[in-house]
Amino acid sequence: MILEGIETDLITAVEAKLVRLHQPLWNSLIDGFGNHDPGSGRYNQAKSEWDVLHPGRMWAERLTGKPPKLQNILAKLKVKT
């Protein structure tokens, strides 16, 4: 869907409705989809569940905290589906 001009005011409402209607895993069950680079001095945080499942964000590779275990995330997904 492409919205331009004044219709861009509808983007938030349309997105919220679609998330409620379809409940995508990355908005309802898996943490970390919308994370951003935490910035300098905060790389002691752990990777999110999203980054464990979908490696590739360069900044997430610098995080040094203990990440969630892949098998725990997968078990959580099995319960949902």
Residue 48 belongs to what domain range? 25-80
Confidence (pLDDT) at 81: 55
Residue 48 within any structural domain of the chain: yes
CB neighbour class for 60 (10 Å; exposed up to 12, middle 13-18, buried from 19):
buried
Task: Enter the tokens of residue 40.
Answer: 């300098």
Q: Classify residue 6: in a domain, yes or no.
A: no
**% of the chain surpassing 70 pLDDT:** 98
Assess if residue 71 is contained within a domain. yes
Please report whether residue 9 resides in a domain: no
Count: domains in the chain:
1
Identify whether 11 is part of a domain.
Answer: no
Residue-wise pLDDT for 38-59, tens only, equals 888 889 999 999 999 999 999 9
Query: Could you tell me which of 41, 42, 39, 66 has the C-alpha nearest to residue 51?
Result: 66
Domain presence at residue 20? no
Identify whether the C-beta of residue 58 lies closer than 8 Å to the C-beta of residue 37: no
Q: Is 16 a member of any domain?
A: no
